[in-house]
Chains A and B, each alone.
Chain A
Amino acid sequence: MAPEKGKKAINRLQSMYPLRAKVNETYLKSIEAIQAGKPAVWAMLNFYYGDPILKAMDIEVVYPENYGAIAAATGVARQFLDRADAEGFPTHLCGYSLTTLGYASRMMKDLKGQIPPEAPLGGMPKPLFLLSSAAICDARYKWFQALGRYMDVPVWTLESPTPGIKEFFMEGYYERMVKLGVQHLRDFVAFVEQMVGRKMDWDKLEETANLMIEVNRVWHEVNELRKVRPCPMHSRDFWSAMPAALFLAGDLQDSLKLYLDMYKEVKGRVDSHTGAIAEEKYRVVFAELPPWHSLGFFDKLAERGWNFVVESFGYHPPIPIDLSKVSDPLERITRFSLQFFAGYYQDALKQRVLGGTSAYPYLKYAREWKCDGALLHPLISCRSASTHLPYVSDMLMHQLKVPSLIVEGDIVDLRLFNPDDALARAEPFEETMEHYRKMRKEARFDW
């Protein structure tokens, strides 16, 4: 059903715009600050664990994973990928890592540490140190180690315990994870202090940690509101609004206010039964990383009545946890970060869905957000965002009779995503979703 002339297919939240703008502003401010001499650190997304430390120490953080997406979208990635290839890195490796390795080679070997002029949006400056994370995949800590070929800067690798779902509930297991996390973080603080030549402001860290937790709590509540029919907020708004919470962009007090505004707006839509699209025919869950360069694709699907109601577990805030009795900010940070991974474990164990942290949430999403189908987007060079998808598809069908549509792509070779081809498969998939709606009804599911 085509929207009215001049009207967009997706009814974007007004409160999304300032959150999205904030990330861009923060990015540009950061570049200015670095140019003015502030220390910069290259970091992996570390799920609320290392970032609060860096923020409290007033260090500018550059995320090569994000820069990889920018390089891909602006068409600059190819030359860095070719460079990494020429440097001997196997081509199957994560596209973002190859982009960064190629970039580093160019910056250090050709330009003696100066930012390459062809690098879009100010590029990435030579960092003071590298902060990698063992969370989610092997590439995310081996890659920064490999950068040592070009840059003699120290690397700190943040540990990220990954418990088994059953094992997690053994006596004392969780406490031992917390103990590792707290001690490790304490050592990391000492490392950062040495690197920047300044002591940690513990009050500031406390404030940062608390704000981080509160911002994410509000953000979590915003997403809980999306469970109703019609869903008031589309995945596009989620992806636009989430970086501020996930990457702790800019002033956290300001972010808190913006997320509270968003909560108000979404609640308003819930009360007035306003959906994110004109006619919600299909409620769809999306996994895992969106095609950043082709988000207009979702507008086309919205015209067909596809409302994307929940998405991307990897980007979602942790399920809120009561940390009021935890006085040590390092422990609070540790427990909050662990909560991102293990928050679903109890549920997963009950449902006997043991196929990994990244997979179980989709069962919960499909059930609680009442999804008719799943759109799964495996990325050829990002295995950590793709490995769980066959299992997710199997689990959703097997347990909930929710069908999945697979649409392939990549994080850096953007040609691999074919939106026309994907749209051509939308219609037959709609029939599939309708069929399984009937199946679920017969099986007494409540959606």
Chain B
Amino acid sequence: MSDKNKGLSRAREIYLNRSQRARELKAAGRRIIGYPCVYVPVEMLTALDIVPFQTCGEMKEPISEASRVLPSSFCPVMRSCLDCALKGKHDFLDGMATIHSSDPQEKTARIWQSYTNYPYFHFIDMPITVRPEALEYFRNQLSDFGKTLGAFAGRNLSTSNLAAAIRSHNRQRGLVRELFELTKSSPPRISGTEIVQVVRALTSLPVLEGNDLSAEVIAEVRSRTNGPERKSGRLLIWGSTVDDAEVMQVLEANANVVVNESCGGLRAYRGEVKLGNDLLGGLASYYLREITCARTFRQAVLGETKKDYARDLQSRFGYLQRMIKEWRINGVIMLLVRYCDPFAFEMPSLKDYLDSLGIPSTYIEYDYTAGSLAPLRTRVEAFVETLG
């Protein structure tokens, strides 16, 4: 890794060769644990001096190993993720921290554990609702996670280390939010593709290195003059995981993608973990309540005995209204992978909400393969053309 390489060009480099830094660290004696979903509280790994590494799918890699154990009618992102693992692409990992954020995550985690033999493997269960007993259950799950991690690391998870880790990861969240502030202008100062590359890089680096990289990128973007071209379409992309640069390039071929509301973009960085007396409780609360993934069942009023659809929509999607205003969004693309159930059920309701705000939107489904780019392009372009 060239140490002349900084900022955006470093992010690009890491994006193309994600595991390089993790392998270097492993060779230097560090422990690396993979996680397939942003719901895993990586602060706990950092606090025990373990490097978290997000195991992602690879859209262009044809599935071969995973087809033995997972049917084709299955989340293609997780299938790809498992395929990469079974092909040995994550052989540098000391273990996996998995979580019940969705069915495919849960089912893949089991199969993953069965077919690999890492020194460490843990499955965190997650409740569906944000009720008080659910939060308490989740907090306990995190506590159990901390125990097995501690046993693996050879020491207990200390409060001070966890607090420090939370601060570092909060700082990273803040830095990513700053990056997204830079897309508010017209034209945005940084492109959707560049942000995807940065976020991917952050999930491949230890948190402090990621924070340095983010700061470099922010400084570079602020001072450069050759940012993205101004386009009349300002898009918000809503989806589960939009983390592939080629997909993003298709999305922003004729428009500016200014908000990536997915796990490859802003979603995991929008809030902050509260530091208080109960750090695990703070983590549980942040992850379960603040991350706006369709997998969590939300209601306007917990346990409501009267239901009102408009109020329900406002409680579930109201945060988008502010985003649309602040980023001056004039179009929303709901980009879903085939076989993703939580987002597929969610989508028509989101469309209703966006219709009520008068924001044009379109739903595009793709199957997370190289062949899906051309059909995606036609639909994205046609939608952008309708925005005038």
Select which of A145, A170, A389 is within 8 A of B71 by beta carbon.
A389
* A296 contacts the other chain (CB 8 A): no
- Evaluate contact between B133 and A355: CB separation under 8 angstroms: no
CA distance A353 to B107 in the complex (A): 13
Shortest C-beta distance, A443 to chain B (Å), equals 21
Contacting residues, chain A, for B341 (C-beta < 8 A):
93-94, 137-139, 142, 383
**Chain B residues in 8 Å Cβ range of A87:** 348
A184 at the interface (CB under 8 A from B): yes
Q: Does residue B25 face the partner (Cβ distance < 8 Å to A)?
A: no
Whole-angstrom CA separation of A394 from B115 in the bound complex: 11
Closest Cβ–Cβ distance, residue A67 to chain B (whole Å): 18
B356 contacts chain A at the CB level, 8 A cutoff? no
A92 pairs with B344, CB closer than 8 A: yes
CB contact between B125 and one of A90, A153, A162, A166 (< 8 Å): that residue: A162
User: Which 8 pairs, one residue from A and one from B, show the smallest C-beta to C-beta distance?
Assistant: A164-B123, A142-B345, A356-B110, A183-B133, A180-B137, A134-B128, A355-B114, A90-B344
CB contacts under 8 Å to A, within B70-126, are: 70-71, 73-74, 100, 102-103, 106-107, 109-111, 113-114, 121-125
Which residues on the B side are within 8 Å of A384 (C-beta)? Answer: 103
- Max chain B C-beta neighbours (<10 A), residue from A141, A180, A353, A384: A180
Additional 20 contacts, C-beta under 8 A, given A90-B344, A92-B344: A89-B345, A89-B348, A92-B73, A93-B341, A137-B341, A139-B345, A143-B345, A152-B309, A159-B137, A167-B144, A170-B148, A179-B137, A180-B133, A180-B137, A190-B303, A191-B305, A354-B113, A356-B110, A359-B110, A383-B103
A149 cross-chain contacts in B, Cβ below 8 A: 309, 348-349, 352
Question: Contacts A137-B341, A391-B114: A152 and B308 contacting too (C-beta < 8 A)?
Answer: yes
- State whether A88 touches B351 (Cβ < 8 A): yes
Whether A355 contacts B110 by the Cβ 8 Å rule is yes
| Interface: B314 (CB within 8 A) | no
Q: Does A156 have its Cβ within 8 Å of any Cβ on chain B?
A: yes
Which residues of chain B in 292-312 are interfacial with respect to chain A, using CB atoms and an 8 Å cutoff? Answer: 294-295, 297, 299, 303-309, 312
In the complex, whether B155 has a CB less than 8 A from a CB of chain A is: no
* A390 touches B (CB below 8 Å): yes
A156 and B128 alpha carbons, distance in the complex (Å): 11
- Say yes or no: A159 contacts B303, CB within 8 Å: no
Interface 0/1 of A125-145, CB less than 8 Å to B: 000000000100111011101
Q: Quick check: B111 and A159 within 8 Å, CB to CB?
A: no
Which of these, A90, A145, A172, A354, contacts B297 with CB under 8 Å?
A145
Cβ 8 A contact of B307, one of A90, A97, A155, A157: A155
Nearest-neighbour CB distance to chain A for B179, whole angstroms, equals 31
With contact pairs A145-B345, A154-B305, A154-B306 given, residues A88 and B133 touching in the complex (Cβ less than 8 Å): no
CB contact under 8 A between A163 and B125, given known A93-B344, A141-B297: yes
- Shortest C-beta distance, A342 to chain B (Å), equals 12
Looking across the interface, which residue of chain B has its beta carbon closest to that of A352?
B114
Within 8 A of B (CB), among A70-127: 87-90, 92-94, 97
**Pairwise interchain contact A156-B73, C-beta atoms closer than 8 A:** no
A388 — which chain B residues lie within 8 A by C-beta?
107
A-B contact count (CB 8 A): 173
Chain A residues with CB under 8 A of B295: 138
Which size bracket describes the interface of B in this complex? 35 or more
| A176–B140 CA distance with the chains assembled, in angstroms | 8
A378 within 8 A of B: yes
- Docked pose: A154 CA to B311 CA in angstroms: 12
CB-CB under 8 A from A390, the residues of chain B are 68-71
Tell me the residues in window 56-71 of chain B with beta carbons closer than 8 Å to chain A beta carbons.
68-71
Give chain B residues whose Cβ lies under 8 Å from the Cβ of A159.
Answer: 127-129, 131, 133-134, 137
List the B side residues contacting A90 at CB < 8 Å: 336, 338, 344, 347, 363, 365
| A3 interface hit (Cβ, 8 Å) | no
* Interface status of A187 (Cβ within 8 A of chain B): yes
Contact A167 B123 (CB under 8 A): yes
Q: Which residues of B contact A176 (CB under 8 A)?
A: 137, 140
Q: Smallest Cβ distance from A83 to chain B, in angstroms?
A: 13
12 contacts between A and B (CB under 8 A): A88-B348, A93-B345, A145-B297, A146-B349, A159-B129, A164-B113, A184-B133, A354-B114, A355-B111, A390-B69, A390-B70, A391-B111
Q: How far is the CA of A297 from the CA of B365 in the complex (A)?
A: 37
Q: Which residues of the partner chain A approach B49 to less than 8 Å between Cβ atoms?
A: none
Task: Give A172 Cβ to nearest chain B Cβ, in Å.
Answer: 8
Within A241-285, which residues are at the interface with B (CB < 8 Å)?
Answer: none
Report the minimal beta-carbon distance from A393 to chain B, rounded to whole angstroms.
9
Are A157 and B122 in contact, with the CB atoms below 8 A? no
Question: Does the CB pair A394–B69 fall under 8 Å?
Answer: yes
Which chain A residues lie closer than 8 Å to B278 at the CB level?
Answer: none
* A195 in contact (CB, < 8 A): yes
Does A57 have its Cβ within 8 Å of any Cβ on chain B? no
A88 x B347 contact (CB < 8 A): yes
Question: Is B282 interfacial (CB-CB < 8 Å)?
Answer: no
The answer to whether B103 touches A148 (Cβ under 8 A) is no
Q: Complex: how many Å from CA A141 to CA B341?
A: 10
Write out the residue numbers on chain B whose beta carbons fall within 8 Å of the beta carbon of A184: 131, 133-134
A88-B363 contact in complex given A157-B128, A387-B74, C-beta closer than 8 Å: yes
Find residues 361-420 in chain A having any chain B CB closer than 8 Å to their own CB.
Answer: 378, 380, 383-384, 386-391, 394
Chain B: minimal CB distance from A219 (Å): 28
Closest to A386 in B: B71
From residue B230, how far is it (CB to closest CB) to chain A in Å? 32
Q: Which residues of A contact B73 (CB under 8 A)?
A: 92, 380, 383, 386
Asked if B349 contacts A148 (CB within 8 A), the reply is: yes
Residues of A within 8 A of B306 (CB): 154
Docked Cα-Cα span, A134 to B103, in Å, equals: 10
A173 proximal to B (CB < 8 A): yes
CB A151 to nearest CB in B, in angstroms, measures 8
A327 at interface, CB cutoff 8 A? no
* Chain A residues near B304 (CB-CB < 8 A): 154
Does A324 sit at the interface, judged by CB under 8 A?
Answer: no
A387 — which chain B residues lie within 8 A by C-beta? 70-71, 74, 103, 107
A161-B110 contact, Cβ under 8 Å, with A87-B348, A92-B339: no
Docked complex Cα distance between A353 and B106 (Å) = 15
- What residue of chain B has the Cβ atom nearest to residue A187's Cβ? B303
* Cα(A141)–Cα(B134), bound, Å: 15
The residue among B131, B336, B345 with the most chain A CB atoms within 10 A of its own CB is: B345
Quote the shortest CB–CB distance from B229 to chain A (angstroms).
33
Most buried by A among B136, B147, B305, B351: B305
Are the CB atoms of A353 and B348 closer together than 8 Å? no
